A = this chain, B = another copy of it.
Amino acid sequence: MSQDFSLGTVEVALGPRERFEEFLQSRGKRITQQRRALVDEVFKRHDHFDADDLILHLSRVSSNRRVSRPTVYRTLVELVDAGLLRSMTLGGRTVYEHDYGYPQHDHLHCQKCNKLIEFHSDEVARIGEALAQEYQFRVTGHRLIFSGICADCRVQKRPTRKLDLV
């Protein structure tokens, strides 16, 4: 099994838009202006975002690029179904990130500034395999978030002490 991923360039057969259209067709769904606008907007981003970010950017655009609030939400669900996006809930809000042609990773979440730092660890997958075996559980994915205070935010606070894990 080869790892074709690298942080800079990623090997994927199709672009996200093509991939989405393929998905839509496979389900008898239609390729509309707003779905196109959405994928484009979503893949213009390279960080984490939520529905409101998109709504904000798509609400004041020329009419054929304008997408309504309900449609943004409806399409976001489809993009997740299509495997293009991954979602996670952070403090009541649903946050999205690319999941297509993007290396598997997990997060460090700063509780002060809300920053998300990505990291990768093979360990996690190994733990998952062991668990699958032990519990006869079919693991399809995981979500690991370490929370705490990021380097930037630590500066303002107390002197640097030894890290105390909870």
Give A contacts to B, CB under 8 Å: 89-92, 108, 110-111, 117, 119, 121, 123-129, 131-151, 154, 163, 165-166
- How many copies of the chain does the oligomer comprise? 2
* B89→A129 contact, CB < 8 A: no
Partner of A139, one of B92, B138, B140, B147: B147
- A148 contacts which chain B residues (CB < 8 A)? 132, 137-141
- Contact between B125 and A150, CB atoms less than 8 A apart: no
**When the two chains form the complex, which single residue of B129, B136, B141 contacts A151, counting CB atoms closer than 8 Å?**
B136
User: Taking the nearest CB of chain B, how far is it from the CB of A120, in angstroms?
Assistant: 11
Contact of A135 among B117, B145, B166 (CB under 8 A): B117
In-complex Cβ contact of A140 among B143, B147, B151 (8 A): B147
Question: In the complex the two chains form, is A138's CB within 8 Å of B154's CB?
Answer: yes
